[in-house]
Amino acid sequence: MPRVKVARKSTAIDMTAMCDVAFLLLTFFILTAKPKVEDPSKAEVPASIKEVTIPDDNVLTISVGKQNKMFLSFSGTDVRAETLKSMGEKYKVDFTPAEINRFSNTEVFGVPMSQLKQFLGTPTSDLKSFEQRGIPADTTVSNELSDWILTARKADKGLHNQDYHIAIKGDRQEQYPAINTVIAILGHQKQFKFDLITSLKAAPKK
């Protein structure tokens, strides 16, 4: 008796669900990705053979750029907004809600208080050409850097009940006294634990 042949039918795969998942994943990565922020300090960090990862969140970074210019970066939009309000009260500078919102979204800055309103009023497209003179850190005249660090730490403790992980980023061509100034400021605030940001040195060729 001859064997009955079953007619072959082409299989069809519904890709609708797969496309939905792919677009959902793409949307998720786009919304959660952090844009790369250009470092205005232009600091070229020294190389090191040891690699220690600095946490992504709750970090306060002090950068020493060219000509010993001081820059500051600390995480948390709510902390940045509260810090600016407190600094405004201390230095008798009134900031508008728009300026506070702009500062809360500014990840790194290096201007004195007298120049901050001008900095916050500059369009984003013109910030690259805006000359940031650095945050004053002269203990004999005005130590705004110390006030910024202390005020940011207080705001972080008040809002999140935690203290910042502190890191120092210094240009490799600058002299030690500039870095020592930052270390002295942290020492006055009883902060003796911090990281020095470096790049990873390539292994020697054998």
Q: How far apart are CA 68 and CA 72, in angstroms?
A: 13
> In angstroms, how far is CA 65 from the centroid of its own chain?
15
State the burial class of residue 144 (Cβ atoms within 10 Å of its Cβ: 0-12, 13-18, 19+). buried
Rg of the chain's alpha carbons, rounded to an integer? Answer: 25
- Cβ atoms of 109 and 71 closer than 8 Å: yes
Indicate the domain borders of the chain: 47-200
Q: Which residues contact residue 95 at a Cβ distance below 8 angstroms, ignoring those fewer than 6 apart?
A: 84, 85, 88, 103, 117, 120
pLDDT digits (tens, 9 = 90+) for 71-112: 999 999 999 999 999 999 999 999 999 999 999 999 999 999
Per-residue pLDDT at 52 exceeds 90? no
Range of lowest pLDDT (23-32, 69-78, 92-101, 122-131)? 23-32
